[in-house]
Structure 1
Amino acid sequence: MAARIRGVAIITKRKSDEAKAAAARIAKMLAAQGVRAFAVSPLKLKGCDELEPDEVKDRADLVFAVGGDGTTLKAFRTIPGNLPLLSINVGGHRGILSEVYTENMERAIRDILAGRGFYDSRIRIQASLASGGNGNKNTFPPALNEILITRADMSRTPTVTVKVLGDEISHRMDGIVIATPTGSTGHNLSLGGPVLHEGMSCLILTPIAPVNKMPQLVIPVEEIVVKMSHKAHIIIDGQENYILKPGQEVRIARHPQDVRFLRLQKKGMRQLAKLGF
């Protein structure tokens, strides 16, 4: 880690008293070390200035996400810039993205303030679609884990067309998952897809219930165009849901800005260890 840390923005799991209590402890500890703590709206902490997400990049050097993996995913989507983020698992389930747990939180923060941390960069992807005939694009929020495109009408199986690397594939199936290496342990794994090392630069295409057997594909990070013959949902990191019209083309490409996790321990296959393998 580089320069001295002057300010830390804290974002917590919504409606979690446990996460809010942990955030208050963190703010008190930071203040004792001469580091200013900011509460990211709607969080309110005694003695801390409240910031809107778009103000964080100008006021803080680090972000602490206090909650589960969902809190971490949301923090990366809502806070602009590539500020390093420490994921603290408080009230979450597996905490696959987390670096720190409640029991070692204070020690970890002391180590970070002493400069004993390093950055772990991860790629993200982003979907966009053409709007009208003027060439403008509607852009969806970036995804760290995956983009899921799935049928909206459960009584009809659509044809999914995928254009990638100069080829076009069309199959009848329920939908498709486009996952990053970070997201390989999410929907992709549940559907039988491979687990990849998080630091790799590639994508996984995982079909959902194809009528004709179709394998999962690991491909270079290239633009992917997906179209479904019927109305569909596009879901970003399992949290944000939008509707696609029949035949609407979705373009998925690497987001120009990677995210940076703040880490304390080096691990070969971090996500597999978190899954208990």
Structure 2
Amino acid sequence: MKIALYGQKFGKKNIPYLNQFIGYASNNSIDIYIEKSFLNILNSFEELKNLNFPVFSHHKELTKDFSLMFTFGGDGTILSAITLIRDSGIPIVGVNTGNLGFLATFNKDVFVKKIDQIFNKKLLLMQRSLLCVETSIKKNNKKFFNFALNEIVILRKETVSMITIDAYIDNEFLTSYWADGLIISTPTGSTGYSLSCGGPIISPDNKNFVLTPISPHNLFSRPLIISDQQNVHLKIHSRVKYYSLSMDTRLISMNQENELYIKKAPFYIYLLQEGGNTYYKTLREKLLWGIDQRN
């Protein structure tokens, strides 16, 4: 078996869990490949400086013969890992060494206890849809990974004035949003930025997207849920030349003449999840539902 390891930072308190993981892999003839920058971080610790594993640094090196990718961090680490996973179909095991952990659902203790079940893939494999964005002007744009698991966000840039976003659904004019920006979110991302802007929570098995305006000036401008089979076309108008386009953790500057075309991506991301750790249980625990704050 061949597996990949990825992370963006690492705390010393997590070293015992990593050592147990590496020991298990070694005893079971599992080949470990570590993302190059993450290996440099691990080697900065005295206890881990002698780690000697093959590395990868590009998505083309993650071939389909990899059985799993393990991410050490939080949800942001998984979002970053997707730029390497892409359409390879390699399932992700998110080990939560971060904070909230909506996607990275294995806490460190559970991860160690369930390691046999993880490697034997006896846990739940969750399929998550993504968004894809195309631009109307391509020749001057740098090539970028144009997919997002959580959300695509259009934001005003270098101005305190609102921007205007003309939105079309399947070529039919919907409305003009006068706002600081607009969020187009997947069900996975509905508990993120969209939620903080008043958007609904959508369970991941729904085949929907949600359009959530950011600080809209029109009081009747509210989040809208649409089918993920529909295409969204956006035209942006601003007092300055550029606006910002965010795709999960990645932010780029776009000329306002550049229109956006957003649709469902032609592939899915797969997350391995503990059987008893359901989506609704995660909501209760992470959002403190049912907790009496008076106590």
> Do the structures match in fold with TM over 0.5?
yes
Amino acid in the other structure paired with 2:257: G
1:62 and 2:62 matched: no
Q: Percent identity?
A: 25
Tell me if structure 2 keeps the 8 A contact 1:9–1:37. yes
- Mark the runs of 5 or more structure 1 residues left unpaired by the alignment: 1-5
Paired with 1:37 and 1:130, the residues of 2 have a C-alpha distance of: 41
Q: 1:132 to 1:52 in 2, by over 3 A?
A: closer
The residue that corresponds to 1:269 in the other structure is 280
- Mark the runs of 5 or more structure 2 residues left unpaired by the alignment: 43-50, 290-295
1:75 and 2:81 matched: yes
Q: 1:146 to 1:20 in 2, by over 3 A?
A: farther
The alpha-carbon deviation at position 88 of structure 1 amounts to 0.5
Amino acid in the other structure paired with 1:229: H
The alpha-carbon deviation at position 119 of structure 1 amounts to 1.0
Match of 1:50 among 41, 49, 55: 55
Paired with 1:186 and 1:244, the residues of 2 have a C-alpha distance of: 23
Tell me if structure 2 keeps the 8 A contact 1:185–1:271. no
Normalising by structure 2, we get a TM-score of 0.84
Of the structure 1 ranges 145-154 and 54-63, higher mean CA displacement relative to structure 2 is found in: 54-63
Counting matched residue pairs gives 269
* Equivalence map 1:1-277=2 (5 Å): 6-14=1-9, 16-18=11-13, 22-44=17-39, 46-54=51-59, 55-80=61-86, 81-90=88-97, 92-131=98-137, 140-168=145-173, 169-213=175-219, 214-221=221-228, 222-230=230-238, 231-237=242-248, 239-266=249-276, 267-273=278-284, 274-277=286-289
Paired with 2:149 and 2:281, the residues of 1 have a C-alpha distance of: 16
The alpha-carbon deviation at position 113 of structure 1 amounts to 2.4
Paired with 2:8 and 2:17, the residues of 1 have a C-alpha distance of: 11
Secondary structure in structure 2 of the residue aligned to 1:79: helix
Paired with 1:97 and 1:256, the residues of 2 have a C-alpha distance of: 21
Secondary structure in structure 1 of the residue aligned to 2:115: helix
The alpha-carbon deviation at position 215 of structure 1 amounts to 1.1
Paired with 2:109 and 2:138, the residues of 1 have a C-alpha distance of: 53
Q: 1:114 to 1:215 in 2, by over 3 A?
A: same
Normalising by structure 1, we get a TM-score of 0.89
